Structure 1
Amino acid sequence: MGTSLRALRALILLAGFYVLALAVLALLTGAALAARAWAPPVAALTVTVLCALLGLPVLRGVFTLGAAGGNRKRGSGNGVPETEGLAVSDAEQPELWRAVRSLAERTGTRAPDAILLTEEVNAAVREDARLLGLLPGRRRLYLGVPLLIGLTEPQLHSVIAHELGHYGNADTRLAGITLRGRDSVLHTVEGFQAPRRKLRDRAWARQGRPAGEAVRKGRSIDLGGGGRTGFGYGSMARPFQAYARFYLRATNSVGRGQELAADRVAARVAGRDATASALREIAVLDVVHDFYLNEYVALGARAALLPPPGEVCGGVRHLLADPELRSDLAELRGEPGPGNGSPYDSHPPVAERIRLIEALPDDGRAADPARPALALLREPGRLLVELERVLLTPEALAMERADWPELIHRATHALAEADAEALRTALSEADAKMVRTLPMDAREPRDSAAGAARDLAALLDAIDAGRLWQVADHLPKSPEAARASGRAAREFLRPALECGTRSLAELALVEAAGARWTLSWSTPPRLRLPEERDLTEPLAAAVRAALADDPDTAPLRALLAN
């Protein structure tokens, strides 16, 4: 489909929304006028107010056109950048700019006016087109730093060629019309749903306790959705919901076609094998990058720690280079996943895109080993530091920096302290209760400032004295656990007891034996003694023995004594 036909289609879809909106507004206006002409004054006023309330969401959706879609980007990854990145000029990064301009020339389109680096596993393009996207405008290319870290130079060329292919197909300009129409439709649907939810909430609040009693007795209740107004919102939303589904299906089918066309441009310009391998590698990077942020960066952030400057965005390279992860990464490359198959997804499944690219004729440009794409950047370490300054919040930038081994130890230590807190409180409460039963001259108040080693020794003494479940009874309980008794109550408490005991034992080993949690890029942090003895498995076995039905505290005491 040519640019003119696609522009006409986008305009027709957008016009369809306004035809629907005008028809609904005309219907509401006619109903109000008819009521004023023939109905009694009170009924006429009621109908007029109701029609006005129902017409407001439609009017808001109509006027969304002027505000929607101003800063939109098309991306080839799993998402579209939501924030601006770090702009890099031709003078700062001449080799990157040369590569982009050369690819633009080979793609047959105008080069972007700006290149911005982001922290996402994604590349995207944006064009600030004019006249609803019918006239070209300023172009921006967004490149995620993880792509530069994880891809080779030919693979990155294919990604850039794919994005430039959107320019050549006028996708970025036509996106202005399409996205404005989508925003107007969705904004109108939300305009009907939001007040209806409020009306239902008020109805629930009015019924209060009787409604709760009815639910508990198994009877249905009528929240009413706010009476006639709630019913009206629901009825008025239906045609817009139906049009929204049609609009999304129609525009996203076009979007999927545009992605496949851009893939063919990338294969022609950068090579079939480089394009297919880039898609496989991006699928790997997406998984690895999410894991890195959640398990390493976020771990430190929970303890108000950040890794050294540049590592927040650049540290993912450690996982990619870890030899222990090599086979797992290879498996991910081999099976990128089928995708969700949703008709509303604007991108075809990655596996389908790879299959279509690999079905193209061999162009003789095998994806041989090449230098990493990061080599295109001058002083990449400095750029990663600058990118953090742009993207991180002031609160994050104010956090203490620590190298990875220190960050992992301190952050895991903080988590262990949090996990052990409930058990230490339960132990203190149980001890206080026992002390109150003793004669005054036999009481020895427990030291509230006792360390983890002393707390663990007190817990082991309680176990040996047969008081384990008296201590556990002071742990926080769910409603189900509070109602249970006997064996069932113990089983409810056992997971929290095991977690707290293990964490308390870890803290005691750090305190008394100098153990530390060590960094690993392929496994969770491991607790080791100074002589590098791994305590993870022995500690788990000792905790299980101490909390068994026939408890044995000797293994745990032996670990503390070493």
Structure 2
Amino acid sequence: MDIQPKPLREWLLIGAMLAVAGLPLVIVPLGLILASMLWDAPWPVLIPLLWPLGTVVAGAVGTVTGRDRIPGRAVRPKDEPELCALVRDVAERAGFQEPLLVQVVPDADASLGRVRAGGVRAYALVLGLPLLRALTAAELASVIAHELGHERHIRDRRTHLLQLARGALTARLDRRFRPLAPLATPLLRATQPQVWRAETAADADAVRVAGTAATAEALRRSGMLHAAFEGLGGAWWAECAEKDMYPEDFYDALDTALRDPLVAHHTARAAAADEEEAALDPYAMEGHPPTAERIAALPADVEASSPYGDAPVVLRTAESLESWCVKEIAEVEDAAVDNCRPVRLLDLPDDELHDLDDGMARALLLRATGQEALEQAVSAALDSVADGTWPRLARRLEPGLRWMPATVRPVTARRVLAVAVTSGLESVLREAGWTYAGRWLNSVLTTPEGTVVVDLRELVTDALTDGEPAPVRDLLATAGTRQETAA
């Protein structure tokens, strides 16, 4: 049997990854048998302990077979002719000839997966509603071509199994306890270059269809949309759920907010922070190269194969799609729509929109620092930055930090502390007469004279990164002076 060294190596890596991912399937039954032998326990007593094992087995089977339910809401050509025509055109230009279903999901992601529909093997192209609303037709064509390109690059069974084995192994590490990490990390690190090459190859396919400029912009804007959906959007959902509400105009509000330069700048920094955290990836679980590297690797100056247009694709069932996606998010956020009252964020007065902040970060800062007043709590946090003890304070704010990988922990700890200090500083400055600089962000304030706009989150984050809290201290001192003068 003539097997080339590279395929043989890949088969060995696949087998090793599946073996490591399947270790719990062996260890748990052996542990139960050993327990019954040592304690002379009857098997019926041990049956309840088999439930976690059944969950593991079901998850493993679902991962390997890839036959989970089709995600999202189906899009039919008669309902969305423009979108389906775009998908068909891109598929033809990409040489994709398999049966293809188009599904819409609430988040800002896109993917392609094998499914069975009516007993027929097909593929589901999953497109996030934020992408459909915000990307131009050319940029969306690039995203579609990229996802369809994956099928060409992982078509053979070996590459497909390698992807599935990596997914099964990554799932074992994406939790608090990671006993398999010493075995899993070398395997993931050995297979990551191939996965990354598949991504850049799919990017090249996207360039051939949509051109270099549209593909580069789609990569940048997709990262921004994901950061906005998870950041600002996630905060809205959490805060509304606390008040038994749900934002029925969520997508309109998110689009409107992103047109604000302050929000755009804030979101760009959040996207960059996400990239920084992903780059630390201690277990080589990340399946995508950094966005900057992907853009740099694109074939240069390639024109689109078709003039797709610089406006978003028309969605004829936009209202029903948005309603369905809002209900889906509500289920995920445990804020069932039937038990909450709808609220339109775009119709809220500015002060009510700002008041959606529940103040949890400020309460945590007071408790973690042991102070009774926010000004003293912020000052204590800045002292910890100056003397280098701020990681301990961050762990008091978020105990889960101690379970994170050591390489990621400092970045996440800075983010946790920055949120708390920013929230406390915002409250202190507001009492001193500062006002909100815009409608959407609580962390960007204007001085009482209305002459200077300060992004508190950016200021605090830079102070934590540089280990120099002086600029934040100066701002805090200014607020204290104004309060004394007013008194």
TM-score, normalized by length of structure 2? 0.60
Cα deviations by residue, 1:428-487 (Å, 9 ceiling, x for unpaired)? xxxxxxxxxxxxxxxxxxxxxxxxxxxxxxxxxxxxxxxxxxxxxxxx8779669xxxxx
Q: CA deviation at 1:5?
A: 9.5
Whether 2:475 is the aligned partner of 1:544: answer no
Residues 261-280 of structure 1 aligned to structure 2 (within 5 Å)? 261-280=201-220
User: Residues 406 and 125 of structure 1: is their aligned pair in 2 closer, same or farther, counting only changes over 3 Å?
Assistant: same
Whether 2:302 is the aligned partner of 1:363: answer yes
**Separation of aligned partners in 2, 1:299 and 1:20:** 41
Q: CA deviation at 1:105?
A: 1.2
Q: CA deviation at 1:386?
A: 2.5
Does the 8 A contact of 1:161 with 1:266 survive in 2?
A: yes
Cα deviations by residue, 1:223-242 (Å, 9 ceiling, x for unpaired)? xxxxxxxxxxxxxx7xx655
Q: CA deviation at 1:341?
A: 5.8
Counterpart of 1:140 in structure 2 is 124
User: Residues 182 and 372 of structure 1: is their aligned pair in 2 closer, same or farther, counting only changes over 3 Å?
Assistant: same
RMSD over aligned CA atoms reads: 5.9
User: Residues 494 and 385 of structure 1: is their aligned pair in 2 closer, same or farther, counting only changes over 3 Å?
Assistant: same
One of 93, 97, 101 as aligned partner of 1:110: 97
**Separation of aligned partners in 2, 1:417 and 1:64:** 38
When the two structures are aligned, how many residues end up with a matched partner?
A: 398
Residues 116-135 of structure 1 aligned to structure 2 (within 5 Å)? 116-128=103-115
Counterpart of 1:520 in structure 2 is 439
Does the 8 A contact of 2:104 with 2:128 survive in 1?
A: yes
Residues 426-437 of structure 1 aligned to structure 2 (within 5 Å)? none
Counterpart of 1:291 in structure 2 is 231
Q: CA deviation at 1:284?
A: 2.4
Whether 2:148 is the aligned partner of 1:161: answer no
Q: CA deviation at 1:408?
A: 5.2
Counterpart of 1:555 in structure 2 is 486
**Separation of aligned partners in 2, 1:345 and 1:275:** 21
**Separation of aligned partners in 2, 1:297 and 1:188:** 29
**Separation of aligned partners in 2, 1:505 and 1:254:** 51
AA aligned opposite 1:406? L
Counterpart of 1:13 in structure 2 is 13
Structure 2: 5+ residue stretches without partners: 27-36, 42-49, 384-419, 455-475
Counterpart of 2:34 in structure 1 is none
Residues 379-458 of structure 1 aligned to structure 2 (within 5 Å)? 379-393=317-331, 395-397=335-337, 398-404=339-345, 405-406=347-348, 409-410=351-352, 412-413=354-355
Overall identity of the aligned pairs, in %: 23
Q: CA deviation at 1:174?
A: 5.4
Residues 39-438 of structure 1 aligned to structure 2 (within 5 Å)? 66-71=61-66, 84-128=71-115, 137-171=121-155, 177-182=161-166, 241-307=181-247, 309=248, 311-323=249-261, 340=279, 342=281, 343-357=284-298, 360-365=299-304, 370-373=309-312, 375-393=313-331, 395-397=335-337, 398-404=339-345, 405-406=347-348, 409-410=351-352, 412-413=354-355
User: Residues 178 and 64 of structure 1: is their aligned pair in 2 closer, same or farther, counting only changes over 3 Å?
Assistant: farther
Structure 1: 5+ residue stretches without partners: 27-44, 50-55, 74-81, 131-135, 198-236, 423-475, 483-487, 510-515, 557-562
AA aligned opposite 2:12? I
Cα deviations by residue, 1:230-263 (Å, 9 ceiling, x for unpaired)? xxxxxxx7xx655422321233222111101101
**Separation of aligned partners in 2, 1:245 and 1:254:** 15
SS in 1 for 2:113: strand
Does the 8 A contact of 1:72 with 1:126 survive in 2?
A: no
Indicate the structure (1 or 2) with the bigger Cα radius of gyration.
1
Does the 8 A contact of 1:166 with 1:258 survive in 2?
A: yes
User: Residues 418 and 189 of structure 1: is their aligned pair in 2 closer, same or farther, counting only changes over 3 Å?
Assistant: closer
Cα deviations by residue, 1:50-98 (Å, 9 ceiling, x for unpaired)? xxxxxx999998997544344489xxxxxxxx99322211221111111
SS in 1 for 2:297: helix
Does the 8 A contact of 2:94 with 2:148 survive in 1?
A: yes
